[in-house]
Chain A
Amino acid sequence: MGKRSFDPQPFLPLTPAMFQVLVALAGREMHGYAIIKEVQRRTDGKVRLSAGTLYALIKRFVQDGLIVECDERPDPALDDERRRYYRLSDNGRAVALAEAERMEEAIDQARARLLTRKPRPA
């Protein structure tokens, strides 16, 4: 039952939003609004999360043990209001990693079949 026996495969594939939330939390603990901002920043605004979508994901990730809720504490950047912070668990890290590998493999396969844009001349 240890962490070593954890199999990330049943969680794959992740939707872009799921993947981005896990990746965002890989760096540090964050509250909801910060996750939204981080995802938006990392994807150049291509993945925009709404509050509803985000918290549905958070609920699922918490239930599945991919992220962990840390204690509630104030966010100095936001009027010191108390917020709930989340961080990536080891299992969550394993899932995000497995998803990244899966995508990498897919890209490799596409490249092997020349299914990719020719590198533009510099």
Chain B
Amino acid sequence: MSRHVRLFRRLVRALFPEDFRVDYESEMARTFTAQAHEARGGGVGALARLWSETFIGLVRTGPREHVLQLRQDAGYALRMMRRTPGFTAIAILTLATGIGANTAVFTVVNAVLVRPLPYRDADQVAMLWNHWPGSAKSGLSTPELLDFRERLRTVDVAALAGGAANLTGRGEPERLPASYVTSNYLDVLGVRPLLGRTFRPEEERRGQGFSVLLTHAAWQRLFDGRPDAIGQRLTLDRAGYTIVGVLPPQFALPHEFGALERSALVFPLPLDPAAPRDERGSHYLRTIARVRRGYSMDQAQAEVGAVARAFDREHPGEYDPAYGATLWPLPGEVVGDVRPALLVLLGAVTLVLLIACANVANLLLARGQVRAREIAVRKAIGASPARLVRQVLTEGLVLAAIAAAAGTALAYALTRAMARLAPGIPRIDEMSVDLTVLAFTAGVSVITAAVFGSLPAMDLARRDSGAHLSSGRGGRTTLRQAVRGALVSAQVALALVLLVGAALLVQSFTRLLNAPSGFRPENVLTFRVSLPIEGFKEREPVVRFFEQALERLRALPDVTAAGATAGLPLQTEIGDWDFYLPGETPGPHGSDRAADWQVVTPGFFEAMGVELRRGRFPSLSDRADAPAVVVINQRLAATYFPGVDPVGRQIRMSGGERPWMTIIGVAGDIRHNGLDTPARAQVFMPHAQFVPFWKDTTVRSFSIALRTSGDPRAVAAAAVARIRELDRDLPVSQVMTLEAVVDRAVGPRRLQMLLLAIFAGIALVLAAIGTYGVLAYQITERTREFGVRMALGARRADIIGMVLRQGMSPAVAGVIVGLAGAALLTRLLASLLFETRPTDPATFGATAVVLLAAALAACLFPARRATRVDPATALRAE
């Protein structure tokens, strides 16, 4: 054979499917030999022409033959599937569940973790947080911001403060969430406005900035997306502001991706670089930093640390010795603590898919035995093992493709449900089935087909065709049974891991819901009322307004108590404030004592249902001119007044000339910053007596809580009307029950728990079906044996015992392996668990019992069928 022909044959082998080659390779080679022989006479040119024509011909026809064969195999697979509708339906349903669950969870993962943030080079941006013992991430004060901004060389720094503004003059008054930003904020974040411009440096100066930016949603709502909104004026907090720009549609501020409300307005933050920089305790600024070109995040981190250390030297007594400042890369900050939960869910759905694969592999193995004769006939008429394997794998692909289509529909429904169940997860609202998700689903489906199809394919390739043709019963039965038993064990083990995980999360969630929140959320309506600075510059008119408002609200039928607080538990976060006891002199680093602080009105504790442990709660008599009083929580009492009655003692908050406050009562501990976060020491100061940090900054924004005798939602309309009676321009926002506030706070955890529970339930059902399927098939195979045994006098109980032993042994093995696997894997859950040990023995034990019970139930039906075998019929059948 010349080297031309050798090359030709090599090409044919590489490009054409085996079936084609079996039929035509030799003929093609002979034909090419003749052509080459002739071309050699025509010289190099003729040979070159022959080769180019031949090569093009092979490249064009070979792959087409592959496609034709695939189409033929797929058609055959579809006909086979139609002939066994029961098998097909179960296999598709099983796979669709697995693929659908994976697609759904990946859709969330894609939106939350994979898709880039809507900021330019978001990985170059970080949050800049202060930290000291007891506070891992605290905002910056104005002087700190200005110092950082002037001194840092490696980064550009910008900051934001939260707020809200009352919009009037356009129909119903509205309270619009707002943010106040430094003029460079959007540049540092990496966002360009959709229309108009961002702020100019001079707009940052106090009294200069009467400009406002609208978010896309606000622009759509207020101006129907009209471009002429730019340049128009809005009355905000009773002052006129000019709209200078509109932000892009996908924009959100870094901390607002999962927020209950997003800012509708963005104002310039008033800053005064010339003001004294010694009042450094008010950490209200969320600061971001973008690494400048030519520097790295590590270099920036080092510089931020060095600048922060200088603060302590420059302002003795202001800083804790362990004070520091750190950059936290933005992507992680936006996603928050959802990441581990999502990864756990992704792991869980992978397990579900593996179980589904094991199940379908088992079904295919069983069917492979049923199809043994058909396969043997095909082999006998010349189908090669490779050809048959290809056919079986194609059947798997067809199954997976149909399942993928059904799974995608399932995923769509599942993702909608997830978005409703946990609105608090950042970016979950951006979820959509995009190309990445489709590629993921396609990839998962192909891998799935390969996983569940490979065992039957291998089984088929090894099968001895002669045996089947002669008897219709297969050899290698023991090995096949062992493989199928192992598949059942694997399913049981995987299902056990999932069930243990779900059980732990359910326990954790139940404990969280039963955690002592410190208040009674049932029958409470809450809403927020914020007064504008105009007309409410001083504390007195604000106090008077809320006293009048609360008095009117208390007069409503069904309202049993009413009060207000600067921030509701679980809806806002509160920070701490140093305080002193009498006789103490400030040390070099201030006071060692700190308490979370809160401003409340009389009636707050009663409306929230907070327990009074000692003394009394604030009353209307605790006015500005009366002796200053304070309520502390139990934690503060236990920490700083151990063994003594704190009522009657005095404390004083640090900074400036603040009054000594007499402790009048001890309240139960409220878990303000999260149900999973134990209460810290806390002080509650009556609004009427609260001295703001500096002039003009009195608290004007309050959440009102109304305790009602019936459904709290029923009084909402009347309550809003009472507020409007006092000031018809005053908007009322965030009207919701206290139960809804709690609900929202636990939303992400509930979603985790629910999803894992659903996945574990699916796993349990699949594992039970798998056990049942294998055993039922084995019983059919052993019908004759049972008949013989019964003819020889075996009792029903003996037969049932035999079957149960056969069915339960792989399940028991699976449970043992699963327990070991769960012990290893549940560690990954530790960070998601609340007051629940990841290796809780009771949970492990109970789960094992549940799985064994399910396996037993799956075995009972086939076992009973085995005892119904009629010995005579069974013997005759052979």
Contact = CB atoms under 8 A, between A and B. Distances in A.
B677 interface: no
Nearest to B62: A52
B35 A33 contact: yes
Interface string B59-90: 01110110000000000000000000000000
A58 B30 CA distance: 15
B220 interface: no
A80 interface: no
Interface in A42-77: 48-56, 58-59
A56 B64 CA distance: 9
A51 B23 contact: no
Contact of B24 (A36, A48, A50, A59): A59
Interface residues of A, number: 19
A84 B27 CA distance: 7
Contacts of B64: 56
Nearest to A32: B31
Contacts of B54: 50-52
A93 interface: no
A19 B389 CA distance: 36
Nearest to B65: A56
Contact of B28 (A48, A51, A78): A51
A54 B60 CA distance: 12
A56 B57 CA distance: 10
A110 B31 CA distance: 39
Contacts of B27: 31-32, 55, 83-84
Contacts of B61: 52-53, 55-56
Interface string B8-47: 1000100110001001100110111011000000000000
Interface residues of B, number: 24
Contacts of A83: 27, 30
Max chain A Cβ within 10 angstroms of own Cβ: one of B8, B16, B27 = B27
B29 to A, nearest CB: 8
B58 interface: yes
Contacts of A54: 28, 31, 57
Nearest to B55: A50
Contacts of B32: 51
Contacts of A52: 12, 15-16, 28, 54, 57-58, 60-62
A52 to B, nearest CB: 4
B381 to A, nearest CB: 15
B60 A53 contact: yes
B24 A81 contact: no
A31 B60 CA distance: 22
B793 to A, nearest CB: 60
A51 B60 CA distance: 12
Max chain B Cβ within 10 angstroms of own Cβ: one of A36, A50, A56, A78 = A50
B34 A78 contact: yes
B657 interface: no
Given A50-B53, A59-B20, A33 B58 contact: no
Interface string B469-511: 0000000000000000000000000000000000000000000
A51 B20 contact: no
Max chain B Cβ within 10 angstroms of own Cβ: one of A31, A55, A81, A83 = A55
Nearest to B29: A51
A59 B16 CA distance: 13
Contacts of B260: none
A51 B35 CA distance: 9
Contacts of A55: 20, 24, 27-28, 31, 61
Given A50-B57, A52-B12, A52-B58, 11 more contacts: A33-B31, A36-B35, A50-B53, A52-B15, A52-B60, A52-B61, A53-B57, A58-B24, A59-B24, A81-B30, A83-B30
5 contacts: A32-B31, A36-B35, A50-B58, A51-B8, A84-B27
